[in-house]
Structure 1
């Protein structure tokens, strides 16, 4: 009885872990409403899996797992969170990939202690710790990467998607991965190395593109700041010119007044003085 409870607890944690990681990768805001919706989805999917397990057995349930779990989560992300299908599927594939470390840790502990229950408990503990790690360090960068552009989303999701397809094609629906054939043994190293170099090339291209965009942005910012300085200088020149025009009108009015009164000598003195009307104003004050 205890082993059964531990086993079903592990299955529920698997589903909860995968759902939580997927919706967080997709950018779900941590509000009460969203958390309740994701929790209800997890419970409904778990009940459907248990019903399928009782009706058809473990083998068929595992083969139907993409339809019982992964597809509903992807639909939830699209319909409820209003995210594009590409981001939704990328989040689900990445979530599936994140489920592998807890599974390996649980398997390793189960082999060491020779107990299936230890396997399940190890998975549960590892899933909890890895989720905390992902939440603190990985979810925000992943969210920014898959939202940045279509090419960035494809670049990030290619490896998880291919791993997902290979896992079900070669481990679930067929026994190719565990057949012991040389091709099967060397398949994962081949897959890992291939995707590593493809990732490096695509990542380099993407970073160069982003660098060019940033460089153009910096140039535009510099030009904008220079234009602001020039506009400010022009505004200051306009103020100075307006001040000069005001002074000139005042000076011409004064000269016109002197001329109408016949003060020709005063006008000559003004023009002979180095500071112009300054001499007249000085004498007036004195």
Structure 2
């Protein structure tokens, strides 16, 4: 288990992380999300013991992270970096050897991951000849080749096309099934929503919310109502509880202050015309994220 106890990090007079606390259970996928500069990378580096916290404490399995065996950690930094003149195989084997693994053991694991990421034919290619997406997959393999117990992925989906992003998601879920504890950041809220059990939403170094995605949605209050019927946007905007009306291909999407407002709206629309669709759902994580950090003004 990873535990952060009131962790704060200051750079001179700049407060990068402020009084941050959360727990990550073994074998869990945990999302650390926020805008650029929110403190995500600084938090990762403190968990990795690359940066000391100004105050507070970080524990892994009941011990301080300073006592952690680094061979048990895998890290994919946001800043990509590889040795361009090494082959894919030599690149990955090098990182595995640095984590104390034997070459024979690594080669077996390497074959598995190259096949998993559709890179078998690139095994002997120089990394500088690879596409950006394939370079990223190689760097990811290098971060997991030693079978870490704790894996930190900083923007792992950056630059990946939908097919390669799908391969990465499958790999992350596979690692979870094997018991790996995974922390990752991403600006793709759909990926966070698909993969994470719990998350921490950061803004300017402070936690705005820590907990399950399901509970965040239920407790947030605002909901979306999709409706299709003989109504105009101006008419719907005047209804009690409607914050915003957006035209869609098949009707309208209404943002409501509270799901309780849907009952009154339902009575109104059923009395005033035939409706083809009336569907209520929680806001997506992306919509909540934008609202929480101030990008969505409603």
- Compute the TM-score of the two structures, normalised by the length of structure 2: 0.21
- The answer to which structure has the higher strand fraction is 2
Greater RCO structure (CA 8 Å; 6+ sep) = 2
- The structure having more radius of gyration, on CA atoms, is 1
TM-score by length of 1: 0.21
